[in-house]
Chains A and B, each alone.
Chain A
């Protein structure tokens, strides 16, 4: 006998500060492109209780010192550290996921064994767009938007490096987590979102 059981996919986007609505739209688009047959929800997260039942969490770009301070202030630090689902982190989110960062005011979550340099390319005038080759991603290079972006200067043995530039590593995977220096939520290309969701093995 086979039973049909709809899978509830719940994705929370940390909504303390930054590029929140774009992440929600990008995940909705990715889920839509990945097919039907299950129910899904993508919503904002501001308090520890909002995390319960989530399969995935997105930590958006924004100002890493600001988001870090707000994570502490809202008692989100331990709940995010002990979160059992996958985390999709971009830009400031990548800084927060690291073990070490070049700024003591950022209280990193220490979830991916890597050292991160903030604003590694410089100030806003040095922000750039580039077509970036990404390991194992079908469909050609990814059009990446780097905005006062960080890089990882070194990553631990278990961390899978997906892409690097002269300045350092700009995309990694580690277990269920993905961390990116750039902003896939700004370009309408959901291949990285889809890859992240597939890795979670929560979709039928």
Chain B
């Protein structure tokens, strides 16, 4: 078969790749050692970044894409897919990660936004993108730009699942609401939530988003992860929750098992026993406006 007969970077390949991650846990890692721990614990993929979100909160300053040296070190260390975070709107960071061979790019509000008006035009890339969302309108705007996976924004680095729950309930609740609407009402609703009408109608027909829908932002325990799955997530991201806990290997394995058996409380009870301390948490109501990450990008 000749190379020119092959098609690369299509929408189907991007969404297909995202779909292979379903039922899985994607873990934030900052170096090769953490990546190996995540892979051995059963992560479906790792997310490379310079600092985990709770450290970004503590240290402040501008948070950027990870050093390419680190990304390559992580790619070489594991055989599972490696993802990477770029700043909202920073299409050159995305070009760099694509060149390095990163399998999926997260255009993430956890990093400091590079463009307060526009997100990356994701259709220009061969690699698939993930984007955060707080409600259906935001999710569909990102899908319209080419995102192949949506994750709840939650409130990263807090170890507090409340915002992830709010965002998952928003997205799934709004899709359930579509059931009672006729076509005209859906078009009107699309205008209200500032989303393309055809995508709203597609959600209504499928009863779900057109791409996979993960949960992220504050998941810190096996029960948190299983709750997001029971609420309807296709999989979960765990950021600071693993490597800021007192026993990362055990926490990583326990969260993988909880996601796999999210409907079996006896399994979740077993894997949660004697896990040590989860990451220290933050009450999101005590955050100053400029400390809230989820309002970046809209």
Contacts and interface: CB of A to CB of B under 8 A. Distances in A.
Interface of A: 15-22, 46, 61-63, 65-66, 69-70, 73-74, 91-92, 103, 105, 118-119, 123-132, 145, 147-148, 165-166, 183, 186-187
A111 B6 CA distance: 31
Interface stretch (B11-19, B58-66, B289-297): B11-19
Interface stretch (B38-46, B47-55, B132-140, B184-192): B38-46
Contacts of B5: 130-131
Interface in B71-121: 79-81, 98, 101, 103-104
A162 to B, nearest CB: 14
A70 B10 CA distance: 31
A62 B12 contact: no
Contacts of A132: 1
From DSSP, what is the main secondary structure of chain B's interface residues? loop
A66 B13 CA distance: 21
Given A63-B45, A66-B42, A118-B79, A145 B12 contact: yes
Given A65-B79, A129-B6, A166-B1, A183 B103 contact: no
Contacts of A69: 42
Given A22-B19, A130-B6, A147-B17, A62 B24 contact: yes
Contacts of B43: 66
A73 B256 CA distance: 11
Contacts of B126: 125
Contact of B79 (A119, A129, A130, A145): A119
B280 interface: no
B22 A19 contact: yes
B16 A62 contact: no
A74 B42 CA distance: 13
Interface residues of B, number: 36
Nearest to A118: B79
Given A62-B24, A91-B20, A124 B127 contact: yes
A124 B103 contact: yes
A131 B9 CA distance: 16
B23 A128 contact: no
Q: Which 5 A-B pairs have the closest CB atoms?
A: A124-B103, A128-B6, A17-B23, A63-B44, A129-B7
A17 B229 CA distance: 13
B128 interface: yes
B23 A129 contact: no
B1 A62 contact: no
B260 interface: yes
A129 to B, nearest CB: 4
B22 A148 contact: no
B271 to A, nearest CB: 11
Contact of B16 (A65, A105, A147): A147
Given A125-B127, A130-B6, 11 more contacts: A16-B23, A18-B24, A63-B24, A63-B80, A73-B257, A105-B79, A124-B127, A127-B13, A128-B6, A132-B1, A148-B103
Given A63-B80, A65-B79, A186 B22 contact: no
